Structure 1
Amino acid sequence: MTAIQRVGVIGGVRIPFCRNNTGYAEIGNFGMSVKTLGALVERYGLHGVELGEVAFGAVIKHASDWNLAREATLSSGLAPTTPGITTARACGTGLDNAVYIANKIASGQIDAGIAGGSDTTSDVPIVYGKALQQRLLAVNRARSPMEKLKTAFKGFSLGELKPSFPAVAEPRTGKSMGEHCELMAREWKISREDQDRLAWESHQKAAAAYERGFFKDLIVPFRGIERDNNLRPD
């Protein structure tokens, strides 16, 4: 049996957090992932280095981002032979990736890897209903221009053009994360005052960490933003 290898976290970087539709309004998961991975490669001199694996993920992503980790890796400066795996586990995606990479190192499958994640609600996939989807597929299958035209408009309804925005609700319950949190708080009898105090102290501590330079070597500026813009210390 192979001995378990010791695992260590060498370092990490991130870009500043931003409220939706502000600093990163025009940047998707791919752009944020490339910036973060590229900054890590630059900091630790990993240009052209082949790592065991890059595990990266996002929950809300476009169909074109199905291979997000691999594509971001190819644009990061790492050796193109570095494999990448794309994952998603709600708010735990990045943490789960860290565990995934650590387990691979511990078991001797790889010597080193990178774990991370990104998410944005400013660049969400907006889709259309099943009727329009099937219509467009039928048009694509049609052979002649006239057949395509007939297929496109036969039985067409303006209602087919109504877009569908991704819900922020849990599919099984129809409730949002905040609504679930409220149920949890009631079950565990956590008062509103205690919740507000925890939130306020969190912002206070984050602001204090900025003041003492804690984030100086952790956060890399991106698109002119140097610190989290969702921080409310006052």
Structure 2
Amino acid sequence: MANPSSNSSSTLGGNDRVAIIAGVRTPFARAWTAFKHWTEADLGRTVANELLNRVDIDPELIDELIFGCVSAPMDGPNVGREVVLRSQLPRRIPASTVQMYCASSAYAAVQGVNALLLNTADVVMVGGVESMSSARARFSLGLSHALQDVAKARNLQDRLKALSQIKAGDLLPEQPAIEEPTTGKSMGESAEDMAKHYGISRREQDEYAERTHHLAAAGYEEGFFPEVMSVLTGDAFDQVLERDNNVRADTSVERMARLRPVFDRQHGTVTAANASPLTDGASAVLLMRESRARKLGLTPLAFVRSYAQVGIDIQRHNLLLGPTLATPIAFERAGVSLDDMDLVEMHEAFAAQVLANLKIWKSPHLCQELGLDEAIGEVNMETFNVHGGSVALGHPFGATGTRIITQLAQEMARRDVNLGLLTMCAAGGLGLSMVLER
């Protein structure tokens, strides 16, 4: 795989770039807390309506909605369409739901970018949602087949015969699990493997987790999360949620040291404190071409310069290496390098995953092991995840991508800087990186 060449490319859309107009998100809440009674459609509708309220645009101008969702509900798997039907959006708008695990809403944004570049849409709303509180246990396959036979039976004898086929083990529900079907390993086990392979200590992980919590808490105190809307929650909708409820301003390495490892009880280093929590939440972003924004009198936050997606052979390499393998391609397509980046945002599935990728980036040897021609470079931590990331803010799988897009674009605008990188790992050995410019 080639590394970037400074002469290789230009911005997507040329002189009529794809603009990020605005973004909004709910506060992210740990699963089974503030949003425990909210469905995916409830959360998605909330951000869609809020985005319309914040942007001075006629909803009739929106041509398409694309949402990401990982654990889509069985009774309404096209969450995007449910968002349209339950919000202020015109019902004529076509809507789809995409799934790329943790990068789902970033992939929804990519699909929106492509629709704008192909001129099949002029204005697109993209986003994502996840309600881990709504994730349901499934019947076993044996019980499902037996119940289907009961439903088709024409008499009592046939029903009893069908029921007699049920075994004791069939009655146990299959709990939702976050593991790779091909390897049987959970994401956390992959993070443990990565920590051991690249020598990332428990202390380093906890120090990183402390950093991200403190940055997120400071960001809220200083007003750096304007995209986070206030939401009324509670049984009587009388409780106001204004911030992500996982952020801990007072957490410390010493406190985190008390926790036991989750995935490898004896020799592990990944704990509940240095991993992103199961989370509920939604986010949305409005995209259009620069010419359309100018015509509507809207000021973009940033523009999409390039993107790249990769798949990893997870039988040979760790599945959390997406940022390392996708980023050089995005840089090559944009004609830039890491040294050009004013800000960098990396999804924090685990502190171990972040630290391992950053360690690889600055090592020519480790990069070459993964097929890169040279090192990506060393990240300036003063410009990295400057207001915290998923370990502190939370990680609603389907919503994190557009959360990061908005967070990066807004910080670029606030600092008045030119270039930013966002990069994500995802289950299944997937990765997505995007370069933004102003």
Could you tell me the percent identity over the aligned residues? 33
Moved more, 218-227 or 78-87: 218-227
Q: Are residue 220 (structure 1) and residue 236 (structure 2) matched?
A: no
Correspondence 1:65-214 to 2 at 5 A? 65-144=76-155, 146=156, 149-214=159-224
Distance 1:47 1:164, change over 3 A: farther
Deviation readout 1:113-153 (Å, 9 max, x if unpaired): 11111123221121111221111211222235x35643553
- Paired residues of 1:7 and 1:102 also in contact (CA < 8 A): yes
Distance 1:159 1:132, change over 3 A: same
Shift, 1:86, TM fit:
0.6
1:33 and 2:41 equivalent?
no
One-letter identity of the residue aligned with 1:76? S
Give the Cα separation in 2 of the matches to 1:173 and 1:157: 27
The offset of 1:46, in angstroms, is 5.2
> For structure 1, which segment, 220-229 or 75-84, has the greater mean C-alpha deviation from structure 2 after superposition?
220-229
Deviates more, 1:96-105 or 1:182-191: 182-191
Aligned residues: 232
Distance 1:7 1:48 in 2: 19
Indicate whether 1:49 and 2:60 are aligned: yes
Taking the aligned partners of 1:179 and 1:35, their CA distance within structure 2 comes to 34
* 1:176-200 Cα distance to aligned partner (Å, 9 max, x none): 2222122223333333333222221
Pair 1:66–1:46, CA change in 2 (3 A): farther
Confirm or deny that 1:63 pairs with 2:79. no
Whether contact under 8 Å (1:53, 1:84) holds in the other structure is yes
2:181 aligned counterpart, secondary structure: coil
Deviation (angstroms), 1:45: 4.8
CA contact (8 A) 1:14 1:218 kept: yes
* Cα contact 1:59–1:89 (8 A) shared by 2: yes
| Matched-pair contact (CA < 8 Å) for 2:228–2:242 | no
| Shift of residue 51, structure 1, vs aligned partner | 1.8
Report the CA distance between 1:47 and its aligned residue.
6.3
Contact 1:15–1:222 (CA under 8 A) maintained in structure 2: no
Decide whether the 8 Å contact of 1:41 with 1:76 is kept in 2.
no
The answer to whether the 8 A contact 1:4-1:106 is kept is no
- Bigger drift between 217-226 and 78-87 goes to 217-226
TM-score (norm 1): 0.89
Contact map agreement 1:57 1:86 (CA 8 A) in 2: yes
CA contact (8 A) 2:66 2:112 kept: yes
Greater relative contact order: 1 or 2 (C-alpha under 8 angstroms, separation 6 or more)?
2
CA distance in 2, matches of 1:71, 1:5: 32
In structure 2, distance between residues paired with 1:163 and 1:65: 21
- In the alignment, structure 1 residue 229 sits paired with structure 2 residue 251: no
Q: TM-score, normalised by structure 2?
A: 0.49
Counterpart amino acid of residue 185 in structure 1: A
Amino acid at match of 1:11: A
| Correspondence for 2:23 among 12, 18, 24 | 12
Distance 1:167 1:76 in 2: 31
Alpha-carbon shift at residue 172 of structure 1 (Å) = 1.8
Stretches of structure 2 lacking an aligned partner (at least 5 in a row): 1-12, 234-239, 251-438
Distance 1:222 1:91 in 2: 26
Letter in 2 for 1:178: G
Which SS does the other structure have where 1:10 is aligned?
strand
8 A contact 1:142–1:151 mirrored in 2:
no
